[in-house]
Amino acid sequence: MQTLRPTPTFSFPLGITKAATTSLDVIKKNAYINAFTSLLPDEQIIEQVTAADKRVFNREPKKSIFDGRLVAIKDNIVTTDLPTTCGSDMLRDYVSPFDATVVEKLREAGCIIMGKTNMDEFGMGSHSTYSAFGAVERPRFPGRAALSAGGSSGGSAAAVVAGMCHFALGTDTGGSVRLPASYCGIIGFKPSYGLISRWGVIAYANSLDTVGILSREVWESKHIFQLLSHYDPKDPTSIPKHTRQVVGEALHHHRKAIDAKRSLRIGVPAEYNLEELTPAVRAAWEQTLQHLQTEGCEIVDISLPNTRAALAAYYILAPAEASSNLARYDGLRYGHRSLEDRSSPERGEILFARTRQEGFGPEVQRRIILGTYTLSSEAIGNYFLQAQRVRRLVQQDFDKVFALPNLLLNREAEARIEGVDAIVVPTALSRPPALQDVRAQSHVETYANDVFTVPASLAGIPSVSVPVDINEKGSPVGIQVITQWGDEKRLWKVAEMVEDISPELMRDVGVRENKAPRL
């Protein structure tokens, strides 16, 4: 088996052509990772990289700081030059006639969309094992056990950590960017709902879906976010320009007022200190909080009482929306169509049961059935509507502890100085588990993995996972920073403080030598 070679790659001092060829080399030599479902042909990548290099040589203005860099896109974000499969047989050959807005934005910034990354089918999974293209494996040193790359954006996370691309886009519905980032030891960012356009993102659960960013450094995620966070008239849930401006100014005003009076306050919710938390994660969490304290932050105990119920609510709401969103895959206009459905009109009504049975994998079918049930007239009151109420409570939990108000819900709300500026919690219960153990888990056990990531998704607030304690085996712990809606500014600040904890340990992942200079 080919294993990852610990080569120095992607630091900025490396020219963009050299960085790209090294990446392509890494992809070829590490096929076991199975990070991609499709790749642009090498010569096309090199052609685009050379063009960017020429721009640098001719001293033309750079399109952005990521001009000429390779970017991997999760395979549920549509692209016109590569298929978009969602990791499903249903869309194995599907090529979209339009680019997603985020893809357009990246192309404008000079990024090279070099490939589409493997994922849990339609985003449903936590280990990137439920893919029609086979499971993703976390990059590892020779002789070590195969680990979970996390999911559902596992392909994107693995590609970033292995150095196959400069950064990657994923989608985060209930933790699908933060969990793989935590397992792979990189930065995984989920923005406030409504800031990054979802046009062209294949829906899993629209009210929770966000486009997330996976990068090696916090500052990179920050820049990519600035590149992508714009109003998009095509996305009806995209926050309009005016609201962005008004909320942005109000938040700035509140932050300034608070900073003038006290130091940063970091909230630590008691409900996250679960029994199931592994000692390593608990230790890393404590270490992080100590570090923040030494940096001058005030650590405050807080309570988010509906955290446990959040997970249950999420597993009602997401499958319900999914059962609806996935109803369109009937094989008539695009995608897989069963030969049986095509050839047996004598069965009476031409339906799509067979097509959907063949096209969807078992986990997707399981969630569709679950969602169909919870929306049925007999169950909707006890499940779907109840879960919506819980979602509201979870969101209120956050509003009660943050110093900044949720201006999306109430423009006039005032800041509360006694509140916290950010919440710092673990991203996952453990370090990345072995793929072997994951396969032995029951479905419900797998669902429990999302317990720390789901609340921020339900509340629609930003969250970023930062790796902190990478052990001798290269196995990291991810720590999440969560802030109020629209308060990405504070999020980056705290995340950079967390990132500073153990820079020397980062090398142990095996793929990075040089820390990139701050621009």
Partner 1 sequence: MPTPRLFATSTTPTILLCRLCRLYYRPLPRISPRTSPFHTSAHSAAESIHTTTADTTAAVDETLTGAFQKSQKRALKDRHKDVIADPIAPSSPWEVTCGLEVHAQLNTKCKLFSTARMSVNAQQNTHISPIDASLPGTQPKLDPRALLPALRAAIALSCTPEPVSRFDRKHYFYWDQPAGYQITQFYHPLAKNGVLRLTPENSTVAVPLEIKIKQVQIEQDTGKTIQAPPLQLVDLNRVGAPLVEIITEPFPLEEAETAAKVLAKIQEVLRAVDACVLGMEWGGMRADVNVSVRRRGDAELGQRCEIKNLSSFKTVTDAVTAEAVRQIGIVEAGGTVEGETRGWDAEHSTTKKLRMKEGEVDYRYMPEPDLPPVVLGPGLVEKVRETLPPLPEQVIAELTSPAYGLSLKDSKTMLLWDEGRTTGYHRVITLYKYVVKLVTDTLSAQKKDTKGVGKVVGNWLVNELGGLLSTRQLAWEKNPVQPEQLADLITLVMAGKITGPTGKTLLPRLFDTDDSPSKIVRAENLGIKEMSDDELAGLINKILATGEGQNVIKQLAELEDIPKNQKKRKGLRGFVVGKVMREMGGKVKADRVDAVFDALLLKKPE
Would you tell me which residues interact with partner 1 (CB under 8 A)?
Answer: 77-78, 84, 86, 91, 94, 96-98, 100, 198-203, 205-207, 233-237, 320-321, 323-324, 326-328, 330, 332-334, 345, 350-352, 372, 375-377, 380, 384
Distance, CA of 39 to CA of 161 (rounded, Å): 17
**One-letter amino acid for residue 287 of the chain:** Q
**One-letter amino acid for residue 86 of the chain:** C
Q: Give me the residue label for tokens 């100014």.
A: 249
Shortest Cβ 366–partner 1 spacing (Å): 17
Q: Give me the residue label for tokens 């991609």.
A: 36
Pick the catalytic residue from 96, 128, 176, 197: 176
32 versus 352: smaller Cβ distance to partner 1: 352
Say if residues 176 and 34 touch (Cβ distance below 8 Å).
no
3-class SS at 23? helix
Shortest Cβ 50–partner 1 spacing (Å): 31
Query: Does 152 qualify as catalytic in the annotation?
Result: yes
Q: Residues near 151 by Cβ (< 8 Å), separated by ≥ 6?
A: 119, 120, 125, 126, 127, 128, 129, 130, 136, 176, 179, 180
Q: Where are the beta strands (DSSP E) in 328-404?
A: none
56 versus 380: smaller Cβ distance to partner 1: 380
**One-letter amino acid for residue 75 of the chain:** D
Q: How many CB atoms lie within 10 A of CB 333?
A: 8
Shortest Cβ 317–partner 1 spacing (Å): 9
Query: Does 263 qualify as catalytic in the annotation?
Result: no
Shortest Cβ 403–partner 1 spacing (Å): 28
84 versus 427: smaller Cβ distance to partner 1: 84
Residue 402 φ/ψ, nearest 5 degrees: -75, 145
First vs last Cα of the chain: how many Å apart?
A: 38
Shortest Cβ 131–partner 1 spacing (Å): 17
Pick the catalytic residue from 23, 126, 148, 152: 152
Dig out the tokens for 201 from the structure: 């993102």
Shortest Cβ 372–partner 1 spacing (Å): 7
124 versus 506: smaller Cβ distance to partner 1: 124
123 versus 185: smaller Cβ distance to partner 1: 123
Query: Does 176 qualify as catalytic in the annotation?
Result: yes
Pick the catalytic residue from 74, 105, 116, 190: 74
228 versus 428: smaller Cβ distance to partner 1: 228
Dig out the tokens for 498 from the structure: 């967390």
Dig out the tokens for 132 from the structure: 């029609």
Supply the residues annotated as catalytic: 74, 152, 176
